[in-house]
Amino acid sequence: MIASIPSATLLGVRGRPVLVEVHVSNGLPGFTVVGLPDAACREARDRVRAALLSSGFPWPLRRVTVNLAPSGVRKTGAGLDLPIAVGLLVATGELDAAAIAGCGFVGELGLDGTIRSVPGALPLTDALTSSAVVMPPACVPEALLVGKPVVRTARSLRELVDALSGRIAWPDLRTVSPAGPAQAHKVPGATTADQACGQGRAGPLDLADVRGQPMGRLAIEVAAAGGHHLLLSGPPGSGKTMLAERLPSVLPPLDEAQLLETYRVHSAAALPLPPAGERRPPFRAPHHGISAPALVGGGSSWMRPGEVSLATNGVLFLDELGEFPSPLLDLLRQPLEEGVIRVARARATVSFPARFLLVAAMNPCPCGERRGIGSCVCSAAQLARYSRRLSGPLLDRFDLHVAVGRPSVRELLDLVPAESSASVAQRVAKVRELAHRRGVTANAALSSASLDVHAPLTKAARELFERQLCSGVLSARGLDRVRRVALTLADLDPSKTAVDEIHVAMALELRAGRAALLGGPGQV
């Protein structure tokens, strides 16, 4: 007898529908899985057999063939355990075929028959076209986010069969699923930051904690308001990391589309989703020893999204930028321009979302002290090797290059509280709203043609640009980037209706740190 059970497998951050066909026939006892299964799928035989016997069902001493269609798509993970077991029960007559009509199944089986969670419950549910889907209890909150099929669950294989047969009622979703929008499958070795949905901290941080640093605070506000990539350069202890970690606190909350996309990526990466009602943008801060697949995504058997995808709709913070290997940093150039990263393998090509705000921090030299004040102990060779870590094309992606210094003693001991993140976030939200009216999410996404429409220059501002271009200080590529930053500054200034000379001058000042970083004057 043949049974066909709808299910799905994960490829990148998308689910692919899979039809699990189970055929039981006479012949020498055996169990074969075909259709490009990975190691986890091939091991389903032992898990399904133990689960059936532990649940009180017989194991057929006949020839069993399991086909995972379509055969040309690689199947990964243990989420096909449950549809294989259900298909086997239907094929052997233990379960009526009419009982599973219109149902899809996803789940891993324990040896005692329990139904366990799997990574990517949200995209897997979205890939199923059946009217109802049976998911593990821990995956129910993620499955409910899709909103399309009827979601059902069961704690064990025996309970599932009894519910399908009508002997018992389906378990109440509120009593079997954990609280919150989702509790994703936990990956062994996942860090605390991973378990916090990439926030990296137990709670939101506030700009009021920052002492001094007026230019750094302005750079954070401009970066958040206009979506401009930011590079902070300064000696140790100047507050670069402290500023960067507080940038998410001034970003607008995620809208419904962004929230669902963020949930999808974190679900596919097997990371827990934030609590219900939490709309903070994600914050990812990978270590400089990270590997290329961990940064941009990929892998051999499981195509997992990397840090650039986990930071989608949020912030990717690269601390100690000068310590990252040059080839690794150059991998960021394409996703910074296109907002997507493509990982190609022999059997498949996967696209991961990569729309993030890049914030980086680095010391001006290996010893950490500024050049030109007599305290730097780095040799010329060390300085040259350090500066070569950052390629010109990568530096061009940063709209803001800000050099920050250590705060003074007076600023550190000042008892007057600084402006809070809530106050800054209100101004940022108004600028983002103006950008939405212009047809983009942030000013950094405006095209050159759109700048002429939405960022008209006053006569004084045009003359300042002419002087910068004629002197060679400003490049043709830098012209558009400075205009976008100037537009953001003008949006933050409610008294102005056009990009004025003061906005252009401030935009150039917020980009002047590049010359200091490179050790002298140059194009900005």
pLDDT (mean) for 67-87: 92
Question: Quick one: pLDDT band at residue 461, thresholds 50, 70, 90?
Answer: confident
Measured from the Cβ of residue 273, the count of other Cβ atoms closer than 10 Å reads 23
Cis peptide before 70 (omega within 30 of 0): yes
Residue 188 lies in a domain: no
d(CA 491, CA 509): 17
Question: Quick one: pLDDT band at residue 417, thresholds 50, 70, 90?
Answer: confident
d(CA 163, CA 160): 5
| 369 in the same domain as 232 | yes
| 282 in the same domain as 251 | yes
d(CA 331, CA 286): 15
d(CA 511, CA 231): 9
| 288 in the same domain as 219 | yes
> For 124, what's the count of Cα atoms within 13 Å in the CB-facing half-sphere?
37
pLDDT at 493 over 80: yes
The answer to whether residues 82 and 105 touch, using CB atoms and an 8 Å cutoff, is yes
Mean pLDDT value across the chain: 86
- The pair of three-digit structure tokens given for residue 366, joined into one six-digit string: 């290996």
How many angstroms separate the most distant Cα atoms in the chain? 89
225: nearest Cα among 501, 441, 503 = 441
Residue 182 lies in a domain: no
| 481 in the same domain as 396 | no
pLDDT at 19 over 90: yes
pLDDT at 486: 92
Residue 381 lies in a domain: yes
Tell me the helices (H) and strands (E) count for the chain, helix number first: 24, 16
Amino acid, single-letter form, for residue 331 = L
Backbone phi, psi, residue 14, to 5°: -115, 145
Q: What is the torsional sign of CA 488, 493, 495, 500?
A: negative
d(CA 454, CA 483): 10
Residue 185 lies in a domain: no
| 358 in the same domain as 244 | yes
What does the DSSP 8-state code read for residue 236? T
Backbone phi, psi, residue 114, to 5°: -70, 150
| 126 in the same domain as 13 | yes
Alpha helix (H) residue ranges in 316-456: 326-330, 333-338, 380-387, 392-396, 409-413, 421-437, 448-454
Residue 16 lies in a domain: yes
The answer to whether residues 250 and 453 touch, using CB atoms and an 8 Å cutoff, is no
Question: Quick one: pLDDT band at residue 178, thresholds 50, 70, 90?
Answer: low
Q: List, for residues 272-313, the tens digit of each pLDDT value.
A: 888 777 889 999 999 999 999 999 988 766 788 999 999 999
Measured from the Cβ of residue 412, the count of other Cβ atoms closer than 10 Å reads 10
d(CA 406, CA 10): 48
430 sits in which H/E element? helix 421-437
- CA–CA–CA angle 223, 229, 232 (5° rounding): 85
CA distances from 467 to 110, 486, 501 (A): 71, 16, 12
Find the helix packing angle between 501-509 and 476-492, rounded to 10°.
120
| 135 in the same domain as 112 | yes
| 248 in the same domain as 268 | yes
Residue 220 lies in a domain: yes
Instruction: Please report, for the domain that includes residue 163, its CATH number.
Output: 3.30.230.10
d(CA 125, CA 24): 28
Number of domains present in the structure of the chain: 3
5 sits in which H/E element? strand 2-11
Residue 267 lies in a domain: yes
- The pair of three-digit structure tokens given for residue 276, joined into one six-digit string: 């219900």
pTM of the predicted model, to two decimals? 0.86
| 462 in the same domain as 404 | no
d(CA 269, CA 293): 13
| 417 in the same domain as 474 | no
| 450 in the same domain as 409 | no
Question: Quick one: pLDDT band at residue 524, thresholds 50, 70, 90?
Answer: low
The radius of gyration of the chain's CA atoms, rounded to the nearest angstrom, is 28
Measured from the Cβ of residue 47, the count of other Cβ atoms closer than 10 Å reads 19
pLDDT at 344 over 70: yes
* Final residue of a structural domain among 387, 418, 438: 438
Instruction: Please report, for the domain that includes residue 277, its CATH number.
Output: 3.40.50.300
Query: What is the span of the domain harbouring residue 495?
Result: 446-524
174 sits in which H/E element? helix 173-176
Residue 40 lies in a domain: yes
Backbone phi, psi, residue 480, to 5°: -65, -40
The answer to whether residues 68 and 34 touch, using CB atoms and an 8 Å cutoff, is yes
Q: Which residues of 445-473 are buried (b: 16+ CB within 10 A; e: fewer)?
A: bbeeebbeebbebbeebeebbeebeeeeb
d(CA 417, CA 207): 10
pLDDT at 186 over 60: no
d(CA 456, CA 464): 14
pLDDT at 31 over 50: yes
Question: Quick one: pLDDT band at residue 432, thresholds 50, 70, 90?
Answer: very high
- The pair of three-digit structure tokens given for residue 336, joined into one six-digit string: 């910074």
| 263 in the same domain as 374 | yes
Q: Which residues of 296-309 are buried (b: 16+ CB within 10 A; e: fewer)?
A: bbbeeebbbbbbbb
Task: Look at the chain and count its residues.
Answer: 524
